């Protein structure tokens, strides 16, 4: 009678243990990784500030500080949830020049698919204005206008820029000299509509508002304005709430991604929020004593103070106290509104910086 031999136990070969361990990790990964949080119909609130590294006492000090300032709405969101809010964060009102930063976001998909060519010149686009533009001015490209480096110092249809400090017409070639000019920004609105065959506000609705679920947007309140006898290109004013501004900031912080959809191309979100004009090249020269350089329609924290929480940070700024600031290092977004219809006082830039300082002081080291 023959005896059957039992099969030998196979030795685990070198390298197989690591492979098996990797399979085990991959199997367990979904249960141990925290997925990014995005607001749904309503924002989720952080109930315990200390759990995300903030002191309740520090946030109370922030609220006391805000009571002394022209401020009608503030949202501080950390990693997709609201940490702190003050005032009426659902009130929709004029966001002033923060509109330019929103326009930069809208440009992204149309640049990516080739609808908008950033190398096109004003001449290519048949752009002129009252009194005409010189051949040199018409050499400016769309990219130059996005960086406020067009070299075109034609009057704008609305105020609120540094055209009063502009050098003489035709003294600067395109791409070589920064100047914050509403002519550039308003012309960019016209170019967007000309090249895409879309109204800015319709694009805002479909490309951003609907994609990220902005709660308070009302298309009917949006209209352009400006003195068209000074310039052919009106300003494209926008009215948004603090909590909807915060959604836009979160979209930028997540490099254009909202849940599973790339709403703004990642490379574009990074491009518009990166330095084009460093602090030491800002004009007029007094701006070099500040904290901000410039990207594509976004102000970028730059220079000696752009360290720690401010490393990589950027902001939209609007007259009267409208701000949208992104702190990538802290996964934090700050949206501030000062509804001028309710509050006749303006919030200065230094006062806004004091708000940011109070927020940062509330962090527990």
Angle subtended at Cα 309 by Cα 72 and Cα 85, rounded to the nearest 5 degrees: 25
- Read out DSSP for 89-113? TT--EE-TTHHHHHHHHHHHHHHHT
**3-state SS class at 47:** coil
Distances (CA, A) of 41 to 32, 125, 216, 231: 26, 41, 11, 41
Q: Is the separation of the CB atoms in 106 and 115 below 8 Å?
A: no
Q: Please give the pLDDT value at position 33.
A: 54
Q: Quickly tell me which residue has 């940062």 as its tokens.
A: 360
Q: Please give the pLDDT value at position 27.
A: 46
Nearest to 102 by CA among 313, 316, 268: 316
Number of Cβ within 10 Å of residue 325's Cβ equals 24
The class that CATH gives domain 52-361 is alpha beta
Longest dimension (CA), the chain: 113
Number of Cβ within 10 Å of residue 183's Cβ equals 25
Is residue 18 pLDDT above 50, yes or no?
Answer: yes
Beta strand spans in the chain (E): 73-78, 81-87, 93-94, 239-240, 257-258, 261-262, 292-294, 299-301, 314-318, 322-327, 332-337
Phi, psi for 65 (deg, rounded to 5): -65, -40
What pLDDT digit, counting tens, does each position of 72-116 carry? 999 999 999 999 999 999 999 999 999 999 999 999 999 999 999
Position 156 confidence tier, pLDDT thresholds 50, 70, 90: very high
Beta-carbon contacts of residue 355 (< 8 Å; ≥ 6 apart): 62, 65, 66, 69, 71, 74, 334, 336
What pLDDT digit, counting tens, does each position of 314-364 carry? 999 999 999 999 999 999 999 999 998 887 899 999 999 999 999 999 998
Beta-carbon contacts of residue 241 (< 8 Å; ≥ 6 apart): 73, 89, 90, 91, 92, 93, 215, 216, 337
Distance CA 135, CA 141 (A): 13
Q: Please give the pLDDT value at position 7.
A: 47
Tokens of 182: 């509403």
Domain chopping of the chain, boundaries: 52-361
């Amino acid at each position: 009678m023959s005896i059957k031999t039992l099969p030998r136990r196979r030795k685990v070969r070198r390298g197989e243990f690591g492979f098996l361990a990797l399979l085990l990790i991959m199997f367990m990964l979904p249960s141990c990784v925290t997925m990014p949080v995005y607001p749904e119909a309503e924002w989720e609130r952080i109930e315990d500030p200390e759990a995300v590294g903030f002191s309740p006492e520090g946030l109370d000090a922030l609220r006391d500080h805000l009571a002394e300032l022209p401020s009608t709405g503030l949202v501080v969101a950390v990693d997709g949830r609201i940490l702190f809010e003050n005032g009426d964060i659902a009130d929709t009102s004029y966001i002033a020049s923060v509109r330019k930063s929103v326009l930069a976001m809208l440009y992204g998909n149309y640049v990516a698919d080739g609808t908008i060519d950033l190398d096109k010149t004003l001449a290519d686009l048949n752009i002129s204005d009252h009194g005409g533009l010189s051949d040199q001015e018409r050499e400016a490209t769309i990219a130059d206008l996005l960086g406020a480096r067009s070299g075109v110092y034609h009057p704008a249809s609305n105020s609120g820029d540094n055209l009063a400090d502009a050098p003489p017409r035709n003294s600067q070639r395109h791409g070589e000299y920064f100047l914050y000019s509403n002519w550039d920004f308003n012309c960019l609105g016209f170019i967007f509509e000309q090249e895409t065959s879309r109204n800015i506000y319709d694009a805002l609705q479909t490309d951003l508002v609907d994609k990220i679920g902005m709660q308070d947007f009302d298309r009917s309140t949006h209209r352009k304005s400006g003195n068209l006898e000074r310039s052919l290109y009106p300003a494209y004013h926008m009215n948004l709430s603090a909590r909807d501004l915060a959604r836009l900031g979160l979209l930028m912080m997540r490099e254009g991604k909202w849940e599973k959809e790339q709403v703004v191309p990642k490379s574009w979100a990074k491009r518009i929020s990166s330095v084009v004009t460093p602090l030491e090249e800002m004009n007029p020269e007094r701006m070099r004593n500040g904290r901000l350089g410039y990207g594509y329609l976004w102000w970028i924290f730059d220079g000696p103070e752009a360290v720690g929480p401010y490393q990589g940070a950027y902001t939209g700024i609007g007259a009267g106290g409208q701000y949208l600031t992104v702190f990538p290092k802290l996964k934090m977004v700050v949206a501030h509104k000062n509804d001028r219809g309710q509050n006749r006082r303006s919030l200065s830039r230094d006062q806004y910086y004091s708000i940011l300082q109070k927020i940062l002081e509330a962090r527990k080291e």
